[in-house]
């Protein structure tokens, strides 16, 4: 027999009543509810004792839900009414998630694309530094460590580096055209060679490692197909890489090449290298990696090669690890890649409270003490107590207008103002006394 539907009483103030009703209606909750408007303009300024005295008859309700920002212990209301009391979220927009209506979190544990993280100039830095960098990349989510070699010439000691990495359980690739380096790395058990074309194709016959095949230098897809066909004739395992070009040097055409290769070789393994885009574009890599991970998910790309050489590309492996999971889920389940995870929202937030002038004026009118309240709304910081009402985006000017003399309080207010100004500038959610969130950057790295 199904359980009877629960009935909730939502308590709110005058200004928030319409928004609360709209959110509840949009939720289509699996419970019944009533919204009760108490004689307070702003719900956040209620306290639990005041609510207990004014909430009225509550018979027939399974629980009361009070605003998340109201002050005091909810036990005061429970003692007065005899009904269970829930403190709601600080922001009305979080009600669906609070009541589990956002659905079960998506399973982002699976992915197709494996990450090759390149240690650029590995031949220069020594074995200890290679192992340390490899550990960082593995912690960040890499599946394979790629050893970067010089543009020309060899990597003396590459076999030792490969052996040491293999002993630590890494999959290893090597990025070189130098024949002796390739053979030494293969003897040490390297898993993949980047790359071969007609200039060195025959070396694939001498090694056990899987090879990445690319177009001939200065030529197009015909040469890639020709090189792959020869490897097929020889029975050599390979991965196709049509090469992703930088913006302004054929980027759009190169994306189309990847599409064409996938159409012509639906079962072949493919690799996409992102360094030409993430390293050579002065923009935050979070969005770049997210979009390219979406392309890779749509094209069923098996491997992605990335680097973290440029300072603005720091964290690229962690970003790709999250992006490949999100995009794999979105493409596999035919859903948009929204509201799956906030990991890649490192600058702007998807949901943040906004207050109009009427709400802010009403809150200010009810403040009777000298404690400052700080809000961020519509790109501005608003700060006030009973005597002062200020708004702007200059933390120093706001601070000077507050007239604070106590050093301890000044430190606290200064910190909060800087945080609030940052939130206003970036479009982030600000809640006084709470840290800002920066997506995956706010999470501790895996041990």
Q: What is the pLDDT of residues 311-334, one digit of tens each?
A: 999 999 999 999 999 999 999 999
pLDDT at 447 over 70: no
The most confident of 20-34, 226-240, 371-385, by mean pLDDT = 226-240
The residue among 171, 116, 115 whose CA lies nearest residue 325 is 115
Rounded distance between C-alpha atoms, residue 112 and residue 102, angstroms: 26
The per-residue pLDDT for range 108-125, each reduced to its tens digit, is 999 999 999 999 999 999
Percent of the chain residues topping a pLDDT of 90 = 75
At residue 1, the pLDDT reads: 40
2 band by pLDDT with thresholds 50, 70 and 90: very low
In this prediction, residues 273-299 reach a mean pLDDT of 97
pLDDT at 102 over 60: no
The per-residue pLDDT for range 204-252, each reduced to its tens digit, is 999 999 999 999 998 999 999 999 999 999 999 999 999 999 999 999 9
The per-residue pLDDT for range 249-269, each reduced to its tens digit, is 999 999 999 999 999 999 999
Rounded distance between C-alpha atoms, residue 285 and residue 266, angstroms: 29
At residue 103, the pLDDT reads: 54
Rounded distance between C-alpha atoms, residue 38 and residue 59, angstroms: 17
If one compares 370 and 215, the residue with the highest pLDDT of the two is: 215
Percent of the chain residues topping a pLDDT of 70 = 98
Q: What are the Cα distances from residue 440, in Å, to 11, 56, 285, 315, 320? A: 35, 45, 13, 10, 11
CA dihedral 182, 186, 190, 191 (to 10 degrees): 100
Question: Quick check: 174 and 181 in contact, CB under 8 A?
Answer: yes
Q: Which two tokens stand for residue 140?
A: 């960040």
**What pTM did the predictor assign?**
0.82
């Amino acid at each position: 027999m199904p359980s009877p539907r629960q009935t909730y009483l939502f308590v709110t103030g005058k200004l928030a009543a319409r928004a609360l009703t709209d959110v509840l209606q949009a939720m289509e909750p699996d419970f019944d509810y009533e919204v009760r408007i108490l004689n307070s303009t702003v719900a956040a300024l209620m306290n639990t004792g005041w609510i207990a005295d004014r909430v009225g008859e509550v018979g027939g309700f399974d629980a009361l839900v009070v605003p998340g920002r109201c002050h005091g212990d909810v036990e005061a209301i429970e003692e007065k009414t005899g009904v269970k009391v829930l403190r709601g979220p600080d922001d009305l927009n979080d009600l669906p998630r609070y009541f589990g209506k956002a659905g079960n979190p998506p399973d982002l544990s699976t992915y197709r694309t494996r990450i090759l993280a390149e240690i650029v100039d590995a031949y220069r830095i020594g074995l200890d530094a290679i192992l340390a960098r490899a550990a960082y990349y593995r912690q960040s989510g890499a599946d394979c460590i790629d050893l970067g070699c010089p543009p020309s010439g060899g990597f003396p000691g590459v076999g030792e580096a490969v052996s040491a990495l293999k002993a630590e359980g890494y999959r290893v690739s090597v990025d070189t055209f130098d024949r002796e380096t390739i053979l030494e790395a293969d003897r040490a058990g390297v898993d993949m060679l980047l790359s071969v074309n007609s200039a060195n194709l025959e070396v694939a016959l001498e090694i056990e490692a899987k090879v990445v095949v690319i177009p001939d230098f200065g030529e197009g897809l015909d040469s890639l197909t020709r090189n792959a066909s020869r490897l097929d004739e020889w029975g050599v395992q390979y991965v196709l890489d049509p090469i992703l070009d930088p913006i302004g040097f054929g980027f759009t055409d190169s994306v189309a090449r990847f599409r064409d290769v996938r159409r012509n070789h639906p079962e072949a393994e493919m690799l996409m290298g992102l360094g030409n885009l993430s390293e050579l574009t002065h923009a935050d890599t979070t969005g770049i990696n997210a979009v390219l991970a979406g392309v890779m998910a749509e094209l069923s790309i098996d491997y992605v090669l990335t680097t973290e050489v440029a300072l603005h590309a720091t964290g690229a492996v962690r970003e790709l690890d999250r992006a490949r999971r999100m995009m794999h889920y979105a493409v596999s389940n035919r859903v948009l890649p929204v509201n799956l995870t906030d990991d890649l929202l490192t600058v702007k937030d998807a949901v943040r409270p906004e207050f109009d002038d009427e709400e802010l004026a009403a809150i200010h009118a009810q403040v009777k003490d000298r404690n400052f309240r700080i809000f961020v709304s519509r790109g501005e910081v608003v700060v006030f107590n009973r005597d002062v009402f200020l708004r702007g985006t200059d933390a120093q000017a706001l601070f000077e207008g507050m007239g604070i003399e106590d050093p301890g309080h000044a430190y606290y207010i200064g910190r909060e103002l800087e945080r609030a100004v940052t939130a206003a500038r970036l479009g982030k959610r600000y809640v006084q006394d709470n840290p800002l969130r920066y997506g995956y950057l706010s999470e501790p790295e895996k041990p």
